[in-house]
Every structure is written in structure tokens, then in C-alpha cells.
Amino acid sequence: MIGRRGIALIAAVSGLLAVILAAVGSHVLEVDGATGQKLWATALQIHMFHTVALLAIAALIQPDSSRLMPWSGIVMMLGVLFFCGSLYLRAGGFAVVPGMVTPLGGLFLMAGWLVFIMAVSIKNQF
């Protein structure tokens, strides 16, 4: 099972990728029109917010933590990958992304928050 260090490493890589993708979207990539720019901006915003959430999850994982705590981070990261990844691809003009990938990513994000709520609701979590 992935622990505190693993979630922190995932968060660090996620943050690095968010900054790189912000630079690419701003300076390199020809984002396709206003819709593409909006998709890119939405992906970046959700990506960075969930990177911060992953850092918080890593900080909350303790030896006596609920086993659900790391799972909340894993599920959130899957959400970032599917939701934000599909938006980045669509904004960049790659329309080959199947239509259900983005909503599936959104469901993963919501599920990650739900698992987090369950993890912190367990007695003696804090």
C-alpha cells in the first residue's frame, strides 16, 4: 500500500507537471480558440487544487490513520489523470479522447473526496 511518502511524491510530481503544463499552454502550445483556452485553464485549476489536496492528505497520514486516507489520494490522482488529462488533450486539439473519460475523471475526483470524508470521519483520526 502506498503511504505518506508515496502520496507526497505523487503530489510533488503532480505540482511539477501542473507548472510545466501552465508554461506549455502559455508559451508553446497553440491552444485552439477560446474554448480550448477555457478547457486548458479549467484543467490547470483543478490539477493544482488537487495537488494541494494531495499534499494535505500526505501530511495527514499517520501510523494510526485510517487505511482509507491513502486511498483518497490514489483515487484523487486518478481523477486528475482522467479529468485534467482529457481536458489538456482536448484543448490541444487531440479529439481522440473517448467522450466518457472526462466524466469518469470527475467521478474519480468526487469519489476521492468522499473517501477522504470517510477517512477523517473515523474515530481517532485526528
Lowest model confidence (mean pLDDT) among 5-19, 21-35, 99-113:
21-35
C-alpha separations of 87 from 32, 97, 125 in Å? 12, 9, 35
Q: What's the pLDDT tens digit per position in 39-75?
A: 899 999 999 999 999 999 999 998 888 889 999 999 9
Q: Tell me, what DSSP letter sits at residue 122?
A: S
Question: Virtual CA dihedral for 90, 93, 97, 98, nearest 10 degrees?
Answer: 80
Q: What does the alpha-carbon distance between residue 20 and residue 6 come to, in Å, rounded to a whole number? A: 21
User: For residue range 73-125, what is the model confidence (pLDDT) as tens digits?
Assistant: 999 999 999 999 999 988 888 776 677 899 999 999 999 999 999 999 986 55
